[in-house]
């Protein structure tokens, strides 16, 4: 193959990240062992405008603790969109409860508020919504349904950092929220995450839970009041995160520029739908995604193969989680079961060039011509 490989995701690491990580490795011990963790936590707090942030080792861990803090356990149900990564739902299984997968909306690919309403039972303990690929959930409607049933909402904002819904950042609207800073995400700490908490009561509970059950104000060293968790972020990871947060506006803006370039080339082609940006919202476009019209004989593996021949990594749309072996299939989630087969994520990492975007679009256009 004579052309350079185009990856679908890759972080943007500058001298600043390297400098902070080196400083943490050289000096971030003893008295300084939490300095970057606190810095990163405070940057997230102020960027998101939220009262409490707990940096974690992953988004999965943050979601696990969020559900544990709500007391989710055997016999309980937690409502989820069927289109998401399994990590959203696994923590409900860890706790012995059952995820209930409901359908998504055709235009945003995010959870359908009417489907949430229809799925609420006496067993429902929480609602987890997912801002998939940077697209925003219908938060006003979701919060109002949740409030009328006295249910907490957790935003899985792993893919939504930088998206804004009616003036509020994704992750600042629900009772709790979780972010991922995995290497493919808009900002990275290698692996990592954060748990966002709105109420002082839940935060108090979580401070104990996240520290192996030790109350932060306990005067007895190594005394645990309950069995807790260990999902902490390290100071070195947080140092990389602190540098990334200093660049957050640039990183989100670049995602938007990349989407705009794709949009310019692809939006007018018939039969394609790209990530939406409804009025009063800002989409941070974590993943530029294309969904092909139902009427087209689109086979995503064929397009993936064409991309691979051109040395391009493209990623398939998430399978409905309920379609996978650990869960019970729910083909009645018709939109989810149709969308996944018609969608593909395009390479959209920070340093992708316009020439590379054109290369990706050329393959896509050729494929589209073939199937039309
Ligand atoms: C929607 C969603 N939820 C949760 C996760 C889990 O994040 P992490 O890998 O940081 O645990 C991811 C990451 O891929 C994700 O995309």
Q: Per-residue pLDDT tens for 184-203?
A: 999 999 999 999 999 999 99
3-state secondary structure of 157: coil
Distance 158 CA to ligand 1 centre (A): 5
Mutate to test the pocket of ligand 1, among 94, 157, 159 (most ligand atoms within 8 A of CB): 159
List the beta bridge partners of residue 165: 168, 281
Half-sphere exposure of residue 336: CA atoms within 13 angstroms, side-chain side = 27
Decide if pLDDT at 250 tops 60: yes
Once rounded to an integer, what is the mean pLDDT over residues 307-329?
Answer: 96
Q: pLDDT tier at 372 (50, 70, 90 boundaries)?
A: confident
pLDDT tens by residue, 319-330: 999 999 999 999
Inter-residue contact 154 to 178 (CB < 8 Å): yes
d(CA 273, CA 291) in angstroms, rounded, equals 5
Give the rounded percent of residues in the chain with a pLDDT score beyond 90. 99
Contact 64, 94 (CB under 8 A): yes
Predicted local distance difference test score (pLDDT) of residue 25: 98
Q: Do residues 181 and 242 touch, judged by C-beta distance below 8 A?
A: no
- Helix H, strand E, coil C: the string for 63-102 is HHHHHHHCCCCCCCEEEEECECCHHHCHHHHHCCCEEEEE
- CA dist 212 → 96, 99, 180, 189 (Å): 20, 25, 22, 23
Distance from C-alpha of 154 to C-alpha of 66, rounded to nearest angstrom? 8
> Does ligand 1 have an atom closer than 6 angstroms to the CB of 193?
yes
**Closest atom, ligand 1, to C-alpha of 63:** 4
Residue 130 near ligand 1, beta carbon < 6 Å = yes
pLDDT band, very low/low/confident/very high, at 356 (cuts 50, 70, 90):
very high
* Tokens standing for residue 101: 């997968």
CA pair distance 172, 52, nearest whole angstrom: 10
Tell whether pTM > 0.85.
yes
Task: Give distance in angstroms: CA of 319 to centre of ligand 1.
Answer: 14
The confidence score (pLDDT) of residue 109 equals 98
In angstroms, what is the span from residue 311 Cα to ligand 1's centroid? 26
Alpha carbon of 220 to those of 91, 158, 161, 215, 228: distances in Å?
A: 31, 36, 38, 9, 16
Q: How far is the CA of 87 from the centre of ligand 1 (A)?
A: 6
Atom of ligand 1 nearest to the CA of 181: 10
CA 93 – ligand 1 centroid, Å: 16
pLDDT, tens digit, 9 for 90 and up, residues 215-231 = 999 999 999 999 999 99
Relative to the CA of 62, which ligand 1 atom is closest? 11
Helix (H, G, I), strand (E, B) or coil at 175: coil
Indicate the top mutation candidate among 158, 176, 315, 320 to test ligand 1's pocket, ranked by most ligand atoms within 8 A of CB.
158
| Ligand 1 site, residue 159, Cβ cutoff 6 A | yes
182 lines ligand 1 (CB under 6 A): yes
> What separation in Å is there between the alpha carbon of 88 and the centre of ligand 1?
7
CA of 31 to the centre of ligand 1 (A): 32
Strand partners for 176: 154, 197
For residue 232, list its beta bridge partners: 56
Q: State the helix-helix crossing angle for 35-48 and 15-27, rounded to 10 degrees.
A: 140
Mutual angle of helices 248-266 and 354-371, in 10-degree steps: 40
Q: Measuring CA to CA, how many Å separate 25 from each of 35, 57, 193, 235, 338?
A: 12, 17, 20, 8, 48
State yes or no: pLDDT of 2 exceeds 80. Answer: no
Q: Tens digit of pLDDT for each residue in 138-158?
A: 999 999 999 999 999 999 999
Residue 88 CB less than 6 A away from ligand 1: yes
Report CA(182)–ligand 1 centroid distance (Å).
8
How much is the pLDDT for 3? 80
Query: What is the chain's mean pLDDT, rounded?
Result: 97
State the sign of the Cα–Cα–Cα–Cα dihedral 248, 138, 142, 115.
Answer: negative
Which of 34, 32, 76, 85 has its CA nearest to residue 58? 85
Q: Tell me how far the alpha carbon of residue 59 lies from the centroid of ligand 1, in angstroms.
A: 6
259-282 pLDDT tens trace = 999 999 999 999 999 999 999 999
CA 126 to chain CA centroid, Å, is 18
Ligand 1 near 158 CB (within 6 A): yes
pLDDT in tens, 57-75: 999 999 999 999 999 999 9
Strands 272-274 and 193-197: unpaired
- Residue 330 is classified by DSSP as -
Instruction: Give the H/E segment covering residue 112.
Output: none
Q: Select from 55, 60, 237 the residue to mutate for testing ligand 1; criterion: most ligand atoms less than 8 Å from CB.
A: 60
Question: Measured from the CA of 180, which atom of ligand 1 is nearest?
Answer: 10
Q: Distance from the CA of 219 to the center of ligand 1, in angstroms?
A: 36
Q: Which residue has the tokens 């940057």?
A: 43
Complete domains list, the chain, with CATH = 15-246 (3.40.640.10), 248-371 (3.90.1150.10)
Sheet with 281-282: list strands edge to edge. Answer: 168-169, 164-165, 281-282
Name every residue whose Cβ is closer than 8 Å to that of residue 270 and which is 6 or more positions away in sequence: 293, 372
């Amino acid at each position: 193959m004579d052309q350079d490989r185009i990856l679908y995701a890759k972080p943007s690491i500058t001298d600043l990240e390297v400098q902070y990580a080196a400083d943490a490795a050289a000096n971030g011990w003893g008295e300084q062992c939490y300095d970057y963790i606190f810095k990163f936590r405070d940057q997230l707090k102020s960027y998101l405008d939220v009262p409490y942030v707990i940096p974690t080792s992953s988004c999965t861990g943050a979601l696990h603790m969020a559900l544990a803090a709500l007391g989710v356990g055997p016999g309980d149900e937690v409502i989820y969109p069927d289109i998401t990564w399994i990590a959203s739902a696994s923590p409900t299984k860890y706790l012995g409860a059952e995820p209930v997968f409901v359908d998504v909306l055709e235009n945003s690919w995010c959870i359908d508020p009417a489907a949430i309403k229809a799925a609420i039972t006496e067993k429902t303990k929480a609602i987890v919504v997912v801002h998939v690929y940077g697209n925003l959930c219908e938060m006003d409607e979701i919060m109002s349904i949740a409030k009328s049933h006295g249910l907490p909402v957790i935003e899985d904002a792993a893919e939504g950092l930088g998206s804004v819904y009616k003036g509020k950042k994704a992750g600042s609207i629900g009772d709790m929220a979780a972010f991922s800073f995995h290497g493919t995400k808009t900002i990275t700490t290698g692996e990592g995450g954060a748990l966002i908490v709105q109420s002082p009561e839940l935060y108090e509970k979580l401070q104990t839970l996240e520290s192996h059950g030790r109350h932060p104000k306990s005067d007895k060293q190594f005394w645990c009041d309950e069995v807790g968790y260990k999902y902490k972020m390290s100071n070195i990871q947080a140092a990389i995160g602190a540098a990334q947060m200093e660049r957050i506006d640039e990183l989100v803006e670049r995602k938007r520029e990349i989407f705009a370039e794709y949009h310019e080339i692809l939006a007018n082609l018939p039969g394609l739908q790209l990530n939406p940006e409804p009025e009063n919202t800002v989409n941070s476009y974590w993943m530029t995604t294309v969904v092909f019209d139902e009427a087209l004989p689109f086979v995503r593996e064929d397009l993936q193969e064409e991309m691979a021949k051109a040395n391009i990594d493209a990623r398939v749309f998430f399978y409905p989680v309920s379609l996978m072996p650990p869960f019970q299939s729910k083909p009645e989630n018709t939109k989810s079961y149709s969308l996944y087969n018609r969608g593909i994520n395009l390479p959209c990492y920070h340093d992708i060039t316009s020439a590379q975007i054109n290369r990706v679009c050329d393959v896509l256009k050729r494929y589209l011509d073939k199937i039309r």
